[in-house]
Amino acid sequence: MRTSIFLTLLIFGCLLANGQDYLKEGDVCFEKGDYECAIIKYKKHNAYEGKDMSAKIQTAEECAKNLLMADEYFKDKEYAKARDRYKTVLAKNPKDPYAKKQRDLCETQLNPSGTSTGTTSDSSGTQASTTPQSKTLQGVKLLLIRGGTFTMGSPASEPSRYNNETQHSVTLNSFYLSEKAITNEQYCRFLNAVGVYSNGQFNVSGYGTQTLIESHEWGVQYSGGSWSPAQGKDNYPVVMVSWYGAKAYCDWAGGRLPTEAEWEYACRAGTTTPFNTGRNLTTSQANYNGNYPYDGNAQGTYLARTQPVGSYAPNAWGLYDMHGNVWEWCADWYGSDYYSNSPQNNPQGPSTGSYRVLRGGSWSNYAQNCRSANRYNYGPYYRLNYYGFRLALSL
Write the CB contacts of 277 (distance below 8 Å, at least 6 apart in sequence): 97, 98, 285, 286, 315, 323
How far apart CA 375 and CA 388 sit, in angstroms, is 15
Reduced to 3 states (helix: H, G, I; strand: E, B; else coil), residue 198 is: coil
How far apart CA 191 and CA 201 sit, in angstroms, is 10
> CATH number, domain at 7?
1.25.40
Q: What's this model's pTM, rounded to 2 decimal places?
A: 0.71
73 and 213 housed in the same domain:
no
Q: Can you tell me the mean pLDDT for 255-284?
A: 97
Q: Can you tell me the mean pLDDT for 70-97?
A: 84
Query: Domain range for residue 186?
Result: 118-395
Task: Give the pLDDT confidence score for residue 360 in this predicted structure.
Answer: 98
Q: Can you tell me the mean pLDDT for 150-173?
A: 97
37 and 150 housed in the same domain:
no
314 and 250 housed in the same domain:
yes
41 and 172 housed in the same domain:
no
Q: Which of 53-57, 142-146, 257-261, 340-344 has the lowest mean pLDDT?
A: 53-57
102 and 185 housed in the same domain:
no
Task: Give the pLDDT confidence score for residue 318 in this predicted structure.
Answer: 96
The answer on pLDDT for 2 being more than 90 is no
Boundary of a domain, candidates 112, 140, 168: 112
Contact 229, 220 (CB under 8 A): yes
The answer on pLDDT for 67 being more than 60 is yes
Selection from 233, 257, 235, 236 nearest residue 245 by Cα: 257
pLDDT in tens, 92-149: 898 888 888 888 888 777 764 333 333 334 444 444 457 899 999 999 999 999 999 9
Phi and psi angles of residue 120, each rounded to the nearest 5 degrees, phi first: -130, 160
Boundary of a domain, candidates 88, 112, 136: 112
Number of domains in the chain: 2
Task: Give the pLDDT confidence score for residue 46 in this predicted structure.
Answer: 72
178 and 296 housed in the same domain:
yes
